[in-house]
Structure 1
């Protein structure tokens, strides 16, 4: 196998692993917060339905954590196996955030175990809720530290390069690089948003399947409300991300926006196709790119004409940007309408067609996470460490990466199908109606 093939298969395998892992990682970051909110609301309102919501979500969460651990371990292995030259160069720097990410996970896992095994052990439910705080903090900080590694790859600093080696290394300066604030904030907040909409989709699906139980209605109301808050927050942070790109990675912003020539009063290009370098059938929003980049409708935005051809990212990232933004805006609208509809008692928010839209919102949010991640990674091409090391210089020359790709793809297929089967059986065999009756019988009173 030629080195080009090794690079190609290494990229495909890394993309496959990250694309699969990001689903479970996103749920792993967002669901603990959702469990905590549900339990807190249940305690505050003395409402057993919300307490039960937290209990059932926690059971399902354990399965996603288990799969996330396997795929996260695979990423760690593949960093060393597939990108040895990168690890040799940058390993001393990224070792700290990688270690801190592992520490955050252990912190989360320990308290998650205690939390799960102490249901009904506390007379005061608030004490049990306190156990969930380190779980949510640990989950979120796992995302923070691993995203710092990615931010460093986009904006490397905290070292000097002498004769191809990194010297004068400052891991903390490297961690707190210019890309870190917007990247970390965007990853964490979109994880919260996506988890809320995935759980909302499950609640809407149960209502569509004929279960008109108040439990599912409360679940839908809570998750859509939380989803609205975090989808608006995601949009605001997305605006900050655009300003970061304009300042530090203008080639990525220009490629994502098909902004070929440096000019002021730049329009935002949505959709369209490229025909011999000419943009056709696109929606152009006047001045919007200048506003996104510099908060000034007449500001000059750097175009692709300012960069060497071999440093321009693939232009198909434009479509990734379009998909991410379209879904994000749609989810703001969907959840906003739902909240208004409940407040103003609009009938359509409880209609079948609107609940179908909410069900579709779950997988759509996952797609937005995937396209956003691909945009971040592909938009950095051709660099693995921006401005310092190219992807082809970082990859292994091992001729058997294609076999590894097949084996790992098989593993992810088994894990994906297995987790879906386990989760569906777990909740089918223990429907909420039955669980409410059982708990009613246990308590010997009416919990409704």
Structure 2
């Protein structure tokens, strides 16, 4: 039996990216939420927010541990599954891959210091400052790994000679034309998802156990962050679309099933294609694609007819693009509705239907991130390095890749189950209000001991 090594290589890498994206997104997004909670707690002198930072940090450490394993798996697979890609581009992407590892260690060191220095400083702002390198390290990690993806989409910083990349300028390769829009989109969506995760947890607990001051404050704080980053992610999406229209028009055309070059192009939402590539059952928004691409309702947008059919991205990316964008607008609508109910005294922002919508927004946010990454990767095909190397040229020819797929699948199942069990054990039967009362009691005892004469 002949093993389709290209297919199995795609499946293995896709599975790894799908699993890793969950923990990578948490790893980038949650540190900022911890910093915001501690800052608000110090400013308001409110122990609820301080407790949020403490509890969120405990859960965050578990996700970091799993993220390390999945990140290592990706690095391993680059060498084992895509050896020809690494042979060609290894000398170009080595610097950002090394810097990504450096950024992780930078974050991990300060995360450990942050965790074990609570109540060690008279000025609480000193402890707050320790969140800055954690947030920065997480952000730098996202930046450096995204530059690799940017290079694959918009390769540069080298000279092609004899089938090899020579005269490599790694900084030029890293900070290519794709980098700004991609990094902007990755960071805003990660912060949005981190906030949506914590807001969803708060809403879920309120639904299950009733309203408490701790979870009510957590929900309000995180929904504020969700609203801000929903708007910023929308802007990032617009910037990304304009980049694609200029630099990767075939990718945008595939996402919108835009087959013929025309001015005043319609935006296509959902629908399906028949055998002749005729669009059926879709919603058409007149001239919106032209505006999305160039900020002009009458601008000309290139169609897929401009490119050889063997260089068309898979047309299924249309659904990935639609779901990614649609989820973003749904989360924005939920956040707007929450604050409308909050400030409209006749409505209750803690009503069950709105809380359920906030809970549902959490998996939707992660699904949106997954759809975005799959659109970025699948939409670049048939290229692994756009214009230089095709996916089938980069993949391993070893039939053992199929065995690797099932071994890594087993690894991810074990990691996922262990992560859930540890998090449940960490917080089960440990309500926030009881922990807060214990902390306040301990602080009062410490204060009394300090005030007693020696």
**TM-score calculated relative to the size of structure 2:** 0.96
Aligned 1:108-127 pairs, distance under 5 A = 108-127=107-126
Cα distance in 1 between the residues matched to 2:255 and 2:272: 13
Aligned to 1:223: 222
**Map 1:51-70 → 2, pairs under 5 A:** 51-70=50-69
After the TM superposition, which residues 206-217 of structure 1 pair with which residues of structure 2 at under 5 Å, given as runs?
206-217=205-216
Residue 260 of structure 2 corresponds to residue 243 of structure 1: no
Q: Does 1:275 align with 2:274?
A: yes
Residue by residue over 1:230-269, the C-alpha shift from the partner in whole angstroms, topping out at 9 and shown as x without a partner, is 0100001100100100111111100000001010100100
Structure 2 residue aligned with 1:90: 89
CA distance in 2, matches of 1:101, 1:211: 42
Following the alignment from structure 1 to structure 2, what is the Cα–Cα distance between the partners of residues 147 and 328?
A: 20
1:429 Cα deviation (Å)? 3.4
* Structure 2: 5+ residue stretches without partners: 446-454
Question: 4+ runs of 1 displaced by more than 2 Å?
Answer: 343-346
**In the alignment, which residue of structure 1 is the partner of 2:327?**
327
Change (3 A) 1:228 1:316: same
Distance across 1 between alignment mates of 2:195 and 2:226: 5
After superposition, residues 189-204 of structure 1 pair within 5 angstroms as 189-204=188-203
Matched residue count:
445
Cα distance in 2 for partners of 1:345, 1:173 equals 55
Separation of aligned partners in 2, 1:356 and 1:341: 14
Comparing 239-248 with 429-438, greater Cα deviation is found at: 429-438
Structure 2 counterpart of 1:400 = 400
Instruction: Give yes or no for contact 1:348–1:354 (8 Å, CA) kept in 2.
Output: no
- Give 1:74's aligned residue: 73
Separation in 2, partners of 1:318, 1:224: 30
Structure 1 residue 275 displacement after superposition? 1.5
Q: Please state how far the C-alpha of 1:42 moved relative to its aligned partner.
A: 0.3
Q: Secondary structure at the match of 1:349?
A: coil
For 2:204, the equivalent position in structure 1 comes to 205
Range with greater deviation from structure 2 (347-356 or 142-151): 347-356
2:399 counterpart SS class? coil
CA distances 1:267-320 after superposition (whole Å, capped 9, x unpaired): 100011111211111111111100011111011100011111110011011001
- 1:118-137 pair list within 5 angstroms: 118-137=117-136
Mapped partners of 1:91, 1:129: distance in 2 = 39
Q: Which residue of 2 aligns with 1:441?
A: 441
Are 1:10 and 2:25 counterparts?
Answer: no
Q: Given the two structures, how large is their TM-score scaled by the length of structure 1? A: 0.98
Alignment check: 8 A CA contact 2:29 2:195 kept = yes
Corresponding residue SS for 1:197: helix
Q: Deviations over 1:370-399 (max 9, x none)?
A: 001100000000000000000000111111
- CA deviations on 1:2-26 (whole Å, 9 max, x unpaired) are 47x1111111000000100000000
Cα displacement (A) at 1:186: 0.3
State the partner residue of 2:101: 102
Q: 1:365 is matched with which residue?
A: 365
Q: Does the CA contact (< 8 Å) of 2:253 and 2:303 recur in 1?
A: yes
Corresponding residue for 2:142? 143
Report the CA distance between 1:336 and its aligned residue.
1.4
**The 10-residue stretch of structure 1 (425-434 or 269-278) with the greater mean CA deviation from structure 2:** 425-434
C-alpha deviation, 1:436, in angstroms: 1.5
Q: Equivalent residue of 2:165, what SS?
A: strand
> Separation in 2 of the partners of 1:243 and 1:116?
42
Task: Quote how far apart the aligned CAs of 1:348 are.
Answer: 3.9
Structure 1: tracts of 5 or more residues without a match: none
3-state SS of paired residue (1:187): helix
* Structure 2 Cα separation of the partners of residues 210 and 423 of structure 1: 19
Name the SS for the 1:166 alignment partner. strand
Question: Distance in 2 between the 1:346 and 1:278 partners?
Answer: 49
- Please name the residue that 2:429 is paired with: 429
Q: Is the 8 A contact 2:338 2:349 kept in 1?
A: yes
Q: Is the 8 A contact 2:342 2:348 kept in 1?
A: no
Superposition deviation, residue 119 in structure 1: 1.1
Tell me if the contact between 1:156 and 1:386 (Cα under 8 Å) persists in the aligned partners: yes
